[in-house]
Amino acid sequence: MSGRFATPEAKEESTFEQIKNSPLFTVALNATFFGLGVLFIQSPLMDMLVPQL
């Protein structure tokens, strides 16, 4: 054994991975989910989910 460690090659992140790993992506994604949730709750779809007893 040479005693040398093989240096792991640093993988270059693709543009998509860079965007996905950025903090802003998490914030924007959850803000979008929240907006969609509000739209759904305020939409007539939610009114249709009320049971007619």
Partner 1 sequence: MSQSEVATGTPVPIADLSKLSIPTLPGVTPQPPKANGFWSSNPVFSYLNDVYITISEHRKSLGLTNPGTIENLNKEVSRDVFLNQYFFTGLRADLNKAFSMSPVFQTSHTLSIGSNVLPPYAFSALYATDDYFIQGNIDNELSFSGRINYGWNKNNISKVTLQLAHGQPSMVQLEQDYQASDFSINLKTLNPSLLSGGFSGVAVGSLLQSLTPSFAVGLEAMYSKQPGPVPPETLVSYVARYNAGNWIASAQIQAQGALIASFWRKVSDKVEAGVETQVAAQLKPVSDPLLGTPIGFETAIEGQTTIGAKYEYRSAVFRGQLDTNGKVSAFLEKRILPTVSILFSGEIDQFKQSSRLGLGLQFEAAGNEQLMLMQQGLIDANGNPVPGAPQI
Report the residue number, 3 or 23, with the smaller CB distance to partner 1.
23
Contact call for residue 1 and partner 1 (CB under 8 A): no
Give min distance, CB of 34 to partner 1, in A: 4
Alpha helical stretches, state H, 1-53? 15-21, 23-42, 44-48
Q: How far is Cα 46 from Cα 48, in angstroms, rounded to an integer?
A: 5
Exactly one of 1, 2, 8, 9 binds partner 1 (CB under 8 A); that residue is: 8
Work out whether 42 is an interface residue with partner 1 (CB under 8 A). yes
- Chain mean position to CA 35: 14
